[in-house]
Amino acid sequence: MSIRHGLLALLERGPMYGYQLRAAFEESTGTTWPLNIGQVYTTLSRLERDGLVRPLPENDGGQRPYEITDPGRSELAQWFATPISRTDRPRDELAIKLALALTTPGVDVRAVVQSQRTATMRALQEYTRLKSRETGTPDLPWRLVLDAMIFQAEAEIRWLDHCEASLMRYPPPPPKTTPAPAPDPEHSEVTHS
Amino acid sequence: MILELRDVYRTHGTGAAAVHALRGVALGVRPGELVAVMGPSGSGKSTLLNLAGGLDRPTQGGVYVEGKLLGELSKRQLAALRRRSVGYVFQDLNLLPSLTAAENVALPLELDGMGVRKARRLAVSALDEVGLADLGPRFPDDMSGGQQQRVAIARALVGDRRLVLADEPTGALDSQTGEAVLRLLRARVDAGAAGVLVTHEARHAGWADRVVFLRDGVVVDTSGPLAQAEELLEPVP
C-alpha cells in the first residue's frame, strides 16, 4: 500500500499538518505501521506536485496544514474502488528463502521450516495477547488490522506445515554444487525491498 | 505444577506391529498457564491429552495431576480425580439430549455425590460464566451449535477444576463463535486453572502461553514464553 493513499484518506476528514497526519496514520493502523515525519513530508510534497493536495496558510503555531483537492478526492475514490493486486505487493522473501534453501548445499530445509514456524507462532501468540487485552467495545480499526496480522500469520504457518509435508513426501535430492545455466533475465530479478 | 508428564512413552501393539504414539515426552503445565499442542494427524496429540486426563495409561514414564501419580491411583481414586479436578472439552460435545443445559452441567457434580440443589446452583453460575445465564432450562436440541459448545465448556469448568483439557474445542464453529470459546478458556486459565489445548489451527494456538509442536510422538519445538506485549508497540527504528 502507499502512504500516499493513506494520507489522502486522512485529509478527506479535514485539513491537517504533518505531525497530525503522522499521528492519525499510526492510530488508524493500530500503531503497526510507524511512519517517520520525513516520509510524511516527502509524500505531501509529491502529492502537492501532482495536484492532489494543496497547502493552506501557516497557522499561529507555524504549522502548515494541507487540504485534499478534487483530483485528490477522485484519486482516493479510485483507490478504494480498485482491489489490490497481489503482484503489486513486495515479493515474499520467505518463499524465496525456502526455495533457495532447497537448492543450497548444506542447508537443512526442515530446520529452516521449523524455526520459521516457531517464530511466526510466537508472533501470532503476541498478536492474540494484544487482542485478548481488549475489553468492552472493540476499537474496530485496530481490531481489523490486528486480525489481518493474525490471519496472515496463520496462513504462513499453514503453508509451512504444507511445505513440511511435501518435504516428507518428496525428499529433495542433494543440491547440485555446480550452478545451473543463467536463467532468463526477465525472471531473475530480485526484490529490492 | 498442575499437570506433569515425565518422559512419557505410549506404544500401541508389540513387536513389528508396534506403533509408538509418544516417545519420551516431557511437559509441565502450571496454574494460569495455557499450553497448546499442535501437530498433524497421527503426531500423538490426542494420545497426549488422553494420558493427561487419565483416560489412557503410559507404557513408560509418569503422568502427575496435582502431584498425584495417576498410575498409583486405584480405579475409584482415578475416577474421582477425573470428576473433580479435570474438565474436558471435546470436539464431540457429548451433551445428553434428554437433560436440560443446567442438568448437563450439574451431572458430573451429582455423580460425584454432591447434593442436587448445590450442584444446580454451581451449574447456573458456570452457565452464567459462559454467557448462557438464561438458557439453563433449555434442551441441547433447542440451542445453536455455539450455545451447545458453551454448555459443554460450562460442564468442563463447573466446580473447582484445576485442569482443563480441550481437544479442538471450537469444532465446526464459525470464526467469531470459535474465538468466543477460546476467550472463555483463556479467562478460566487466567483465573488460575491449568489448560491444555490440542488443535491443528494456529490461530487457536495463538491464545496459548506456550505452543508445543509434536511430530511422530516427539516434541520437536516449543514457542514461548511470550515477550511483553508492550514491546510490540515500540516504534521501529
Cell 481489523 identifies what position?
Answer: A144
**Domain end position, chosen among A59, A85, A111:** A85
Question: Does residue A24 lie within any of the structural domains?
Answer: yes
Q: How confident is the model at residue B236 (pLDDT cuts 50, 70, 90)?
A: very low
User: Domain range holding A41?
Assistant: 3-85
d(CA A55, CA A37): 17
**Domain end position, chosen among A56, A85, A114:** A85
Mark whether A72 and A135 lie in a shared domain: no
Burial A121-140 (b: 16+ CB within 10 A, else e): bbbbbbbbbbbbeeeeeeee
Of B201, B208, B223, the CB nearest to A118: B223
Question: Does residue A119 lie within any of the structural domains?
Answer: yes
Instruction: Residue count of chain B, please give it.
Output: 237
Mark whether A121 and A141 lie in a shared domain: yes
Average pLDDT over residues B200-221: 92
CB contact under 8 A, B202 and A124: yes
How confident is the model over A76-131, as pLDDT tens digits? 888 888 877 766 666 677 888 888 888 777 888 888 899 899 999 999 999 999 88
β-pair partners for B34: B195
Question: Does residue A72 lie within any of the structural domains?
Answer: yes
β-pair partners for B214: B219
Q: How confident is the model at residue A157 (pLDDT cuts 50, 70, 90)?
A: very high
Question: Does residue A113 lie within any of the structural domains?
Answer: yes
Q: Where are the domains of chain B?
A: 1-85+162-221, 93-160
Mark whether A27 and A59 lie in a shared domain: yes
Nearest CA in chain B to A161: B40
Q: Which of these, B193, B10, A4, A89, lies nearest to A21 by C-alpha position?
A: A4
Mark whether A39 and A113 lie in a shared domain: no
Q: Which of these, B149, B159, B145, lies nearest to B188 by C-alpha position?
A: B159
The answer to whether B219 and B212 are in contact (CB under 8 A) is: yes
Choose between B72 and A182: higher pLDDT: B72
Mark whether A78 and A21 lie in a shared domain: yes
Question: Does residue A181 lie within any of the structural domains?
Answer: no
Name the fold adopted by B1-85+162-221: Rossmann fold (3.40.50)
Top residue of A33, A129, A135, A162 to mutate, by most chain B CBs within 10 Å, is A129
CB contact under 8 A, A157 and B202: yes
In chain B, which residues have their Cβ closer than 8 Å to the Cβ of A39? none
Backbone angles phi, psi at A38, to 5 degrees: -60, -40
How confident is the model over B132-167, as pLDDT tens digits? 889 999 999 999 888 888 898 889 888 878 899 998
Mark whether A14 and A78 lie in a shared domain: yes
Residue B201 contacts A, CB cutoff 8 Å = yes
Question: Does residue A182 lie within any of the structural domains?
Answer: no
Average pLDDT over residues B196-219: 93
pLDDT, mean over chain A:
83
CB contact under 8 A, A125 and B229: no
Domain CATH for A19: 1.10.10.10
CB contact under 8 A, A118 and B213: yes
Mark whether A52 and A122 lie in a shared domain: no
CB contact under 8 A, A125 and B208: yes
Question: Does residue A25 lie within any of the structural domains?
Answer: yes
**Domain end position, chosen among A85, A101, A134:** A85
Cell of B183: 476467550
Mark whether A81 and A7 lie in a shared domain: yes
One-letter-per-residue 3-state SS of B74-115:
CHHHHHHHHHHCEEEECCCCCCCCCCCHHHHHHHHHHHCCCC
pLDDT at position A156 is 92
d(CA A90, CA A84): 12
Q: How confident is the model at residue B203 (pLDDT cuts 50, 70, 90)?
A: very high
Q: Which of these, A154, A91, A108, lies nearest to A127 by C-alpha position?
A: A154
How confident is the model over B84-104, as pLDDT tens digits? 889 888 777 678 999 999 999
Q: How many domains does chain A have?
A: 2
Cell of A58: 501557516
The answer to whether B6 and B60 are in contact (CB under 8 A) is: no
Mark whether A98 and A165 lie in a shared domain: yes
In chain A, which residues have their Cβ closer than 8 Å to the Cβ of B232? 126-127, 130
Residue B211 contacts A, CB cutoff 8 Å = yes
Residue type present at position A4: R
In chain A, which residues have their Cβ closer than 8 Å to the Cβ of B176? none
Q: Which of these, A130, A3, A39, A19, lies nearest to B233 by C-alpha position?
A: A130
Q: In 10 A of CB A18, how many CB atoms?
A: 18
Q: CA of A115 to nearest chain B CA: how many angstroms apart?
A: 8
Q: Where are the alpha helices (DSSP H) in chain A?
A: 3-11, 18-28, 37-49, 70-81, 93-103, 109-132, 140-169
pLDDT at position B9 is 96
Q: CA of A17 to nearest chain B CA: how many angstroms apart?
A: 21
d(CA B63, CA B222): 20
Residue B20 has pLDDT above 50, yes or no: yes
DSSP tag of B191: T
Helix axes A37-49, A3-11, angle to 10 degrees: 80
In chain A, which residues have their Cβ closer than 8 Å to the Cβ of B225? none
Q: CA of B213 to nearest chain A CA: how many angstroms apart?
A: 9
Q: Considering only CA atoms, give the Rg of chain A.
A: 22
Nearest CA in chain B to A118: B223
d(CA A75, CA A52): 8
CB contact under 8 A, A165 and B207: no
Q: In chain B, which among 4-63 make CB contacts under 8 A with chain A?
A: 38, 40
In chain B, which residues have their Cβ closer than 8 Å to the Cβ of A133? 229
Q: In 10 A of CB A193, how many CB atoms?
A: 6
- What pTM does this model have? 0.77
Residue B191 contacts A, CB cutoff 8 Å = no
How confident is the model over B24-69, as pLDDT tens digits? 999 999 999 999 999 888 899 989 999 999 989 999 999 999 999 9
pLDDT at position A79 is 85
